[in-house]
Structure 1
Amino acid sequence: MLFAVLCTDKPNALQVRMDTRPEHVDFLNDLNAKGGLAFAGPFLDDAGKPNGSLVVIQAETIEDARAIAAADPYAKAGLFANVDIKPWNWVFNKPEA
């Protein structure tokens, strides 16, 4: 099952994001290698700077999705003000379709 992980950064946390980015990218690459990542990328503010994330993951249950999201180095670094996880159905432009 797919889950959308919608994350909003804390205010003025860009430096935390940038400092933690290498570990976050490694985490996503590992998740992708294990077949658990559908796609991911940052939300951008009006100046084009990242201020949140959208990560769509494959997991058996919402509890598994929560555990994956909590293991993200960004989450461990305290980057996010809010994380919302929702079951998601990929209908249009799905690569396997």
Structure 2
Amino acid sequence: MLFAILCDDRDGGLETRLATRADHLAYLKSLGASLRFAGPFLGDDEKPVGSMLVVEAADEAGARALADADPYARAGLFAKVVVRRWNWTVNNPDAAA
């Protein structure tokens, strides 16, 4: 099952994000095929203000465990994290043509 993990940075979190970025990227790479795609949300100033990840997990608890283990989450970067079941219906490279 696919899950979207939607994260909002806490106010003033840019320093935390920058200091933890290398660990965050290493963690994402360690997820292998479980991570379908990821990237930051950007504010009007083009600086990151949050993150979106789409992961494959057996259930919501598994997806939440992946979110909780992210170095950004562990560093306290996020003010809010939402995990939602997601159905990739358009431009899904795994869907039959």
TM-score range, shorter chain: over 0.9
1:51 aligns with 2:39: no
Mark the runs of 5 or more structure 2 residues left unpaired by the alignment.
Answer: none
Q: Number of residue pairs matched?
A: 95
What does residue range 1-97 of structure 1 map to in structure 2 within 5 Å? 1-31=1-31, 33=32, 35-97=33-95
RMSD over equivalenced CA pairs, Å:
0.6
TM-score, reference length from structure 2? 0.96
Q: List, as ranges, runs of 4+ consecutive aligned residues in structure 1 with deviation greater than 2 Å.
A: none
Aligned identity (percent) is 52
Residue 95 of structure 1 and its aligned partner are, at CA, apart by: 1.4
Determine the C-alpha separation between the residues in 2 that align with 1:77 and 1:52.
Answer: 14
Determine the C-alpha separation between the residues in 2 that align with 1:91 and 1:11.
Answer: 34
Mark the runs of 5 or more structure 1 residues left unpaired by the alignment.
Answer: none
CA deviation profile, 1:4-43 (whole Å, cap 9, x unmatched): 0000000011000000000000000010x2x210100000
Q: Which amino acid aligns with 2:60?
A: I
CA deviation profile, 1:35-85 (whole Å, cap 9, x unmatched): 210100000000000000000000001000111100000000000000000
SS in 1 for 2:26: helix
